[in-house]
Structure 1
Amino acid sequence: MDSLKTLILVLTPMFIGFCVKLPQSYLKILDKILNLLVYTILLLIGIGLARIDNLFAQLNHIAGYSILLFILTIACNLFILGLFDKIHPFEYVKKSTTKSHKIGILGSLKQLATACLGIIIGQLLPTSMHPPESTGTYALMLLILIVGIQLRSNGIPLQQVLLNKRGLHTALWFILSCLLAGSIFALILPDVSLTQGLALSSGYGWYSLSGIIMTQAYGATWGSVALLNDLMREFFALAFIPLIMKRYQSTAVGVGGATSMDFTLPIIQQSGGLMIVPVAISFGFIVNLAAPFLMLIFSTL
């Protein structure tokens, strides 16, 4: 019953937001609120991480697990989506620029620093002064609601993103490649079950979501593994999307994961041109819907 309740709490705001259309003048305000929410959630995740007993003694395990999971997911993504691009190539449009690329790297550093700040705050404050654990869930629900509103207000109907065949195919192969990575991760680590490996590999770069859901399911240690894995995906995407886009367009979209329709979309557009944007939006939309559903399903099996 609790898992069903959590699933409803996570997915319902997206669909509610998709029913709301606001004037363009309000979207700038939503962007600011969304940015603030992202940093708030990262701060809350950091504070939650500080609750772990012997935190610093466990950092080596957290970092090791995160790096292994990241290497496996990215390797499987590149291999499977690369084959898809080879068999069904997509027309390349134009070369990349680097301005937004550099700005995006700085943004990721700020986000990682915010999570570290949360750890420091959590260590300094007594437990009685920590925010309730449900605070992160409520912040996440508001974030998902705003994402849904932004999609609808930017004139992106549900039919348009779901009917983009290239985006749909890219999303399906991407999800399958992540499931393969999660299975290998579970096989390598005897203390990780198959369903846990599948759940951890289903964050798709949505770190604010995966960090909370995996913490609720497996504890703060594994929530931190999911968070760091998805943050490393974001760093990788920012660094390599322009290079990959030159020959493997769907692969370039795929490595961005859930961020392909928002955070890494400017880089995708600049390096791949306007023709790749509907693919990225369709892919990102489907992946964003699949991530919470699959993580919750696998974590409760």
Structure 2
Amino acid sequence: MNSLITLVSILIPLFLGFFISVPKPYLHLIDKALSLLVYLILLLIGVSLSQVENLHTRIDTIIGSTALLFVCVIGMNLLVLIWFDRRYPWQAHGSGKKVHIGIAGSLKQLGCVVAGFLAGYVLTGYWLPPENTGNYCLMLLVFLVGVQLRSSGITLRQVLLNRRGVQTAIWITASSLAGGILFALLMPEVSWSKGLALASGFGWYSLSGIVMTEAYGPVWGSITLLNDLLREFFALVFIPILMRRYPSTAVGIGGATSLDFTLPVIQSAGGLQAVPLAISFGFIINVAAPFLMVIFSSLNF
């Protein structure tokens, strides 16, 4: 029942937001609100992590598990999508401009988690945010994501009729889940369903961190968060390198961020014709991520 409530509390705000359109001049306000919410959610995840007993004894587990999960998921993504690009070639033409790789935003996001951890450690015994604060912030976040998608002029017709985008979304989903199963096989204490849930964030770190914390506790929530942040780092660096020969791979490794944070890099590296692919792929992944995470985390096999 709790999993069903979590799924409804995420998907309903997302789809409600998708039916609300705001004038384009006000989109920058939505963007600012989303940025603030992301930082707030990351702070709250840091606070929850600070409340884990004997955390210092689990640091090795967090670092090791994050590294292994990242290698399994990204490794499977690359293997499958590079095969797809070779088997069914599709050419994207870059803009010819030098691509600026901006990892400063990712570093700020990681810094928010650290700041939240320090704040939680200092404030313990005095005041801590109410337990459900993170869930309320998450609901508002996905609602604004829906509003942003609708107000940006994205239609379901555009999404579903972009064959390459749909195919890329299917392959990235399948390969990520395969990576999750591989992770479970290499970690005897991790069930298959848990491995699948951990691999279903697709780079949406603000969502996966909260959902996995609710499902498996702050340690695994932090592992998922760091894994999805690493995807963002990886995508920013390798999208320009992969775009010329493997355009679907370049778009796919960004996961959910291909619709926002890494979209400017995709456009610069792949040109305007890569944008519809990124939008179609990103939209599908943004809808699939919360659904798959909640479903798999509610199962036990």
- Tell me the alpha carbon deviations over residues 215-257 of structure 1, each in whole angstroms, 9 at most, x when there is no partner: 1111111101100100100100011110011210000001000
CA distance in 2, matches of 1:294, 1:154: 25
- Tell me the alpha carbon deviations over residues 158-203 of structure 1, each in whole angstroms, 9 at most, x when there is no partner: 2211221100000000000001100010001110000000000111
* Distance change >3 Å, CA 24–CA 224, structure 1 → 2: same
* Distance change >3 Å, CA 118–CA 4, structure 1 → 2: same
Secondary structure in 1 aligned to 2:103? helix
1:193 counterpart (191, 194, 217): 191
Partner of 1:76: 76
Partner of 1:248: 246
CA distance in 1, matches of 2:117, 2:96: 37
Residue 170 in structure 1 maps to residue 174 in structure 2: no
1:280 counterpart (278, 281, 291): 278
**Gapped runs of 5+ residues in structure 1?**
none
CA distance in 1, matches of 2:264, 2:181: 32
Partner of 2:31: 31
CA distance in 2, matches of 1:170, 1:150: 22
CA drift at 1:57: 2.0
CA distance in 1, matches of 2:71, 2:148: 32
CA drift at 1:143: 1.0
Percent identity over the alignment is 57
- Aligned ranges 1:87-98 → 2 under 5 Å: 87-94=87-94, 97-98=97-98
CA drift at 1:59: 1.1
CA distance in 2, matches of 1:213, 1:90: 36
Partner of 2:209: 211
TM-score (norm 2): 0.97
CA distance in 2, matches of 1:99, 1:46: 32
Which has the larger helix fraction? Answer: 1
* Distance change >3 Å, CA 253–CA 73, structure 1 → 2: same
Partner of 1:293: 291
Residue 58 in structure 1 maps to residue 58 in structure 2: yes
| Stretches of 4+ aligned residues off by more than 2 angstroms | 95-100
CA drift at 1:98: 4.5
Secondary structure in 1 aligned to 2:83? helix
Deviates more, 1:55-64 or 1:259-268: 55-64
Note the aligned Cα RMSD (angstroms).
Answer: 1.1
TM-score (norm 1): 0.97
Contact between 1:27 and 1:150, CA under 8 Å: does it hold in 2? yes
Secondary structure in 2 aligned to 1:274? coil
**Gapped runs of 5+ residues in structure 2?**
none
Partner of 2:200: 202
Q: In the alignment, residue 135 of structure 1 is paired with which amino acid? A: T
Deviates more, 1:92-101 or 1:210-219: 92-101
Q: In the alignment, residue 205 of structure 2 is paired with which amino acid? A: Y
CA distance in 1, matches of 2:142, 2:160: 19
Partner of 1:108: 106
